[in-house]
Structure 1
Amino acid sequence: LPNIPQFLIAYYGTLKAGCVITTISPLARESTLLFQLNDSEAGTLVVYEPLLPVFLKVSQSTAVKRVFVTSGDASKPPQLPQGNFYDFDAILSKYPPEPPKVEIHPKSDLACLQYTGGTTGTPKGAMLTHFNMVSDAIAFSSWTKCRPAEEVFLTVLPLSHIFGMTTSMNAPIYAAGTIVLLQKFDVKKVLDTIQTYGITVFCGVPTMYALIVASPDVQSYNLRSVRCCISGGSPLPPEVQKKFIQLTGGVLVEGYGLTECSPGTHTNPVDPSMKTVKIGSIGLPWPDVDAKIVDLETGSKTLPPGEVGELVIKGPQVMLGYWKRPEETKEVLRDGWLYTGDVAKMDEDGYFYIVDRKKDLIKCKGYSVYPREIEDVIYEHPAVKLCAVVGKPDPIAGEVPKAFVVLKDGAQLTAEELINFLKERLEPYKLVKEVEFRKELPLTSAGKVHRRLLREEELSKSSK
């Protein structure tokens, strides 16, 4: 389901019935849908009518027993195939709201099987309990200083993604907030929505904020209702952060989380004075969360402030493990700590910084080069709208950094000009060796730039 009211109804109805949810992105292809339905052993599917044809192509290869279909508009009944297909909205109107009495054990009973590539890249279901999900929603609401029954949340992050699910649905419900749903991110619609509804809380990924500040029409909108924005999913470029704060007068800070943690674990303080906000940092651990940096080689040695290693986390939102994946669970859950696969460091004040993903690290002439560091500098150039840096195979250096860049409307920039711009700001071994300009970059269902696809393109080219 996309971001429609029926998503919330199906979500909470499933939980009240004592069942387990697994959400699937509306962008999922047949192979992804088939894998997740079978791996999760799903017996019931709730589907948006325009997406039904995707399921019908694989339905005979699944164990799904019943399908509830919604058109997204209760006044327009969906066209149902023969068999165990039901009109979702008609069923709701036919039966009284009398959920069965179900005994839930919050710390052991699953609420969600949330699929993720995790720290190893292969899809698997993170087993999240009711306790995990509620803990994270409460922690988010507390950290962002949500005012009960006063906040207006812009929900444009996909609810099928754990980031949107917690910050833009569960937390608003906990805080008795208003939820304004948008099915997809469109800059004009987002700007219109903020102005029309007086949005106060807007969680998103850096790409969203970058596109807003790059919009040629942004100055014509009144965005001053915005109080708090949390950016997650990938690093927030400091230049984007500064421009967005200037535009809205609200606080935009970087946070951190991962599916295995329901997802939030860290955020900078929501401090309008910005005195306790550290630009470039993911902030401090949330209440009841322990975090530390361990050595990359063995993961057994705790490192002092300033040293780079792997971020590990312990807290009430950490998953039970991966569904039917005991060996992979053992790899990431050790002695009560979740090993995130993210390379990070902690400063003397206890603020954490993500250096990069282990798998995104570029090894160039023996140096460790982190794409984020280069991307942050590229975003400082006024002509740049979006960018991504990946490692390109090189017979001599091993890998060299390559930049993919989308320019702002009407802007002009050559590869040579950008490289010269970087030369003044980066060490020689961090310089990109190639710049490829594109009209757009591939995005994940959550709106993050899909670095892996770009990296695979380069690997494919080098193997020919």
Structure 2
Amino acid sequence: MGVPETRPWLDRYETGQPADLDVERSTMTDLWHDSVRRAPDRDAIRYFDAAITVSELDDMADALAVALGERGVSRGGRVAVYLQNVPQFVITLLAVWKLGAVAVSVNPMNKHRELFTLLTDSGATTLVCLEGLYDTARDVVGETEVRLVITTSELEYQTRDDPRAFGEARRGTPEGAEDMSELIEHGRGRAPRPVDVDPDDVAILTYTSGTTGPPKGAMNTHRNVAFNAHTYQRWCHVGEDDVVLGVAPLFHITGLIGHIAVALLNPCPLVLTHRFDTGVVAEAVAEHRASFTIGSITVFIALMNSSEVRSEQMSTLTRIYSGGAPIPPSTVQRFRERFGHYVHNFYGLTETNSPALGVPFGSHAPVDPRSGALSVGVPIYNTIARIVDDEGAELPVGEVGEIVTSGPQVVPGYWGNPEETARAMPRGRLHTGDVGYMDDDGWFYLVDRKKDQINASGYKVWPREVEDVLYEHPAVREAAVVGAVDPYRGETVRAFVSLRDDHHADQAELIEFCEQRMAAYKYPREVLVLDELPKTMTGKILRRELRSHQSGERERLDRA
């Protein structure tokens, strides 16, 4: 069943387009040119003690585009971007778009095999990377179509030496690479020849994590990116007077759209800190008076539990969204008690260019009284969400099934992979692989990933429900639940937790805590503690690593 027609919460939100701009028919270069025209002297990027204005950013992107064009990058060509959260990421992205080329977003944590896979699949001919990542790149590029490697340093554009952010980084262009700053100087004062970019041209290739097979390149078009940049602007009330805090990795779809694209659209300053450190981030919020951010819930858990972070440092950060992983209601409450701000939910995937569902800013997501789950929101503008069964038939309100979504933000397919496109997106409807349900008022609730369901003696257990209960315990900082092989029940429920500083709980206490709150087949029979749970760079807890966790590598909660 689709979303009910009566949605009174949307009456409070303006849904019209800007008077002089039709975002769904625009490219990101159109939006950026409009921003340069309107606010050339406004800060576009703030990076420690450096600030780059809109016009300066445009000039650097022009210069780099000229240099790239002279080295053979043209419309439709692929340029891989292998960088952390540094200004050069934004400069490169704009330069690539000015040429009508395609940016290939690469996780800077990727090693040889992963980097080879992405470069080979995308057919990238140029790679832009940090100097510290060049050793990995050098061993790979000779086996790919890459002919040009451009390096840059995280120390560029700033003079503040903070070991928390930069470690032992040093400047120096490796042999066999060209230096980005030199290329920008070479092209300074020149602009590339204008290219007629279509809204349906691919702007970015973003690769899925590959949890269900090899990574697939989602073809994020200019139309997709522009639409959801506009969504962030209007849905989250992010305007030209705001300051965007870049806590999500820029290579990830959340950082690309929820940080870069919305900041370019307004335009408004984007605050970058190279990599995530709670103390550095809190100082950046206070110094730059950051007002909006989106990140994984683990980011906000880390800030909430850090002794370095003071409440007054976070006072301006009033617009907070989280996506990428379910949020326990108890975590939202604790964050609000600590900092006074509510964390709003967004739900989306790489294939939806970030949000497809969300909690309207200023609203509080309902908690389902039956499951205790916090709603992930309602469909955003022009978006349809459905709950379907295994045969694709729509299910009634309240019944659990797969979330299927369609709208202007859904990508047209996977790069060079028509078979996977047809499987995941029949008739343009994205089958997310996530299981959830919808209530009578049109609010959606995420249950879990289909593949993560545990079958204990024939009873279905969703890890998310057990994790939410564990998060209610005052000692638990993070929790993850997986199925473990059991000779009698087939599978049993195993939990992994990390504890908050200065808190303690033994295994028996946590099992009893869950047993008192859950059906007998659901509560965990084993609880194991780790100092930190394994995560992706975007903050998602890696259940697959926990499933293969060896007994010799773990420490039991009931240790002496």
Note whether the superposition's TM-score is higher than 0.5: yes
1:438 to 530, 541, 544: 530
User: Which AA in structure 2 matches 1:449?
Assistant: I
Structure 1 residues 398-425: Cα deviation after superposition (integer angstroms, max 9, x where no partner): 2111111111122111000000111111
Instruction: Map 1:81-100 to 2 at 5 A.
Output: 81-82=175-176, 85-95=177-187, 96-100=189-193
Match of 2:47 in 1: none
For residue 275 of structure 1, report the CA deviation from its aligned partner. Answer: 7.9
Asked if structure 2 preserves the Cα contact closer than 8 Å seen for 1:253 and 1:277, the reply is no
Is the alpha carbon distance of 1:459 and 1:44 closer, same or farther for their aligned partners in structure 2, counting shifts above 3 Å? farther
Task: Provide closer, same or farther for how the CA distance between residues 385 and 20 of structure 1 changes in structure 2, counting only shifts above 3 A.
Answer: same
Residue correspondence of structure 1 range 12-51 to structure 2 within 5 A = 12-51=94-133
Say which SS state the counterpart of residue 428 (structure 1) adopts.
coil
Deviates more, 1:249-258 or 1:282-291: 249-258
- Cα 1:425–1:275, aligned 2, differ >3 Å: closer, same or farther? closer
**Corresponding position of 1:235:** 326
C-alpha distance after superposition, 1:110-167 (max 9, x if no partner): 11111103683421101111101111111121100112x2111110211011111110
Distance 2:538 2:380 in 1: 23
Deviates more, 1:190-199 or 1:33-42: 190-199
1:140–1:458: structure 2 CA closer, same or farther, 3 Å change rule? farther
**Does structure 2 retain, via aligned residues, the 8 Å contact 1:125–1:322?**
yes
Residue of structure 1 in register with 2:284 after alignment: 193
Instruction: From 171, 182, 198, give the equivalent of 1:105.
Output: 198
Give the counterpart letter for 2:353 in structure 1. S
**8 Å contact kept, 1:322–1:328:** yes
The SS at the match of 1:230 is strand
CA distance in 1, matches of 2:311, 2:405: 43
For residue 332 of structure 2, what is the amino acid of its counterpart?
Answer: Q
Aligned pairs for 1:376-455 (under 5 A) are 376-455=468-547
Instruction: Give the TM-score of the pair, scaled to structure 2.
Output: 0.78
Change (3 A) 1:405 1:457: same
The secondary structure found in structure 2 opposite 1:392 is strand
Q: Is the 8 A contact 2:244 2:270 kept in 1?
A: yes
The 5-angstrom pairing of residues 307-326 of structure 1 reads 307-326=399-418
Paired letter, 2:468: D
> Match of 1:359, as an amino acid?
K
Report what 1:211 is aligned to: 302
Q: Which amino acid aligns with 1:165?
A: L
C-alpha distance in structure 1 between counterparts of 2:325 and 2:111, whole Å: 24
What is the aligned counterpart of 2:140 among 35, 58, 68? 58
Question: What amino acid maps onto 1:100 in structure 2?
Answer: R
- Alpha carbon RMSD of aligned pairs, Å? 2.0
Cross-structure match for 2:233: 141
Paired with 2:365 and 2:352, the residues of 1 have a C-alpha distance of 28
The CA deviation at 1:197 is: 2.0
User: Contact 1:140/1:171 (CA < 8 Å) preserved in 2?
Assistant: yes
State the alpha-carbon separation in 1 of the partners of residues 367 and 237 from structure 2.
Answer: 15
For 2:379, the equivalent position in structure 1 comes to 285
1:164 aligns with 2:255: yes
What's the offset of the Cα at 1:453? 1.2
Pair 1:175-2:257 in alignment: no
How far apart in 2 are the matches of 1:244 and 1:4? 28
Measured in 1, the distance between the counterparts of 2:284 and 2:381 equals 32
**Percent of aligned positions that are identical:** 39
- In structure 1, the residue matched to 2:218 is 126
How far 1:73 sits from its partner (Å)? 3.9
Normalising by the residue count of structure 1, what TM-score does the alignment of the two structures yield?
A: 0.94
Aligned to 2:336: 245
Partner of 2:65: none
Question: Which residue identity does 2:330 align to in structure 1?
Answer: E
* Count of aligned residue pairs for this structure pair: 454
Whole-angstrom distance in 2 between the partners of 1:416 and 1:67: 55
Match of 1:366 among 458, 472, 476: 458
- Aligned AA for 1:338? L
State whether structure 2 residue 355 is matched by structure 1 residue 261: no
Q: How far apart, CA to CA, are the structure 2 residues paired with 1:370 and 1:276?
A: 20
Give the AA of the match of 1:56: R
For residue 217 of structure 1, report the CA deviation from its aligned partner: 4.6
Asked if the contact 2:320/2:343 (under 8 Å) is kept, the reply is yes
Gaps of at least 5 residues in structure 2 are 1-82, 158-169, 554-560
Separation in structure 2 between the aligned mates of residue 91 and residue 428 of structure 1, nearest angstrom: 64
Asked if the contact 1:156/1:183 (under 8 Å) is kept, the reply is no
Q: 2:352 is aligned with what amino acid?
A: C
- SS of the equivalent of 2:478 reads strand
d(CA) in 2 for partners of 1:143 and 1:220?
26
- Partners of 1:71 and 1:215 lie apart in 2 by 29
User: Deviation of residue 195 (structure 1)?
Assistant: 2.2
Letter in 1 for 2:430: L
- Paired position in structure 1 for 2:151: 69
In the alignment, the residues of structure 1 paired with residue 433 and residue 551 of structure 2 have an alpha-carbon distance, to the nearest angstrom, of 22
Deviations 1:316-374 (A, max 9, x none): 11111111211111111112211111101011111111100011111111111111111
**Residue in structure 2 matched with residue 305 of structure 1 by the alignment:** 397
Q: 1:352 to 1:220 in 2, by over 3 A?
A: closer
Aligned-partner residue type, residue 417 of structure 2: R
Secondary structure of the corresponding residue to residue 353 of structure 1? strand
Question: Quick check: 1:343–1:358 contact (8 Å CA) kept in 2?
Answer: yes
- Contact 2:365–2:377 under 8 Å retained in 1: no
Distance 1:77 1:409, change over 3 A: closer
Contact 2:471/2:477 (<8 A) preserved: yes
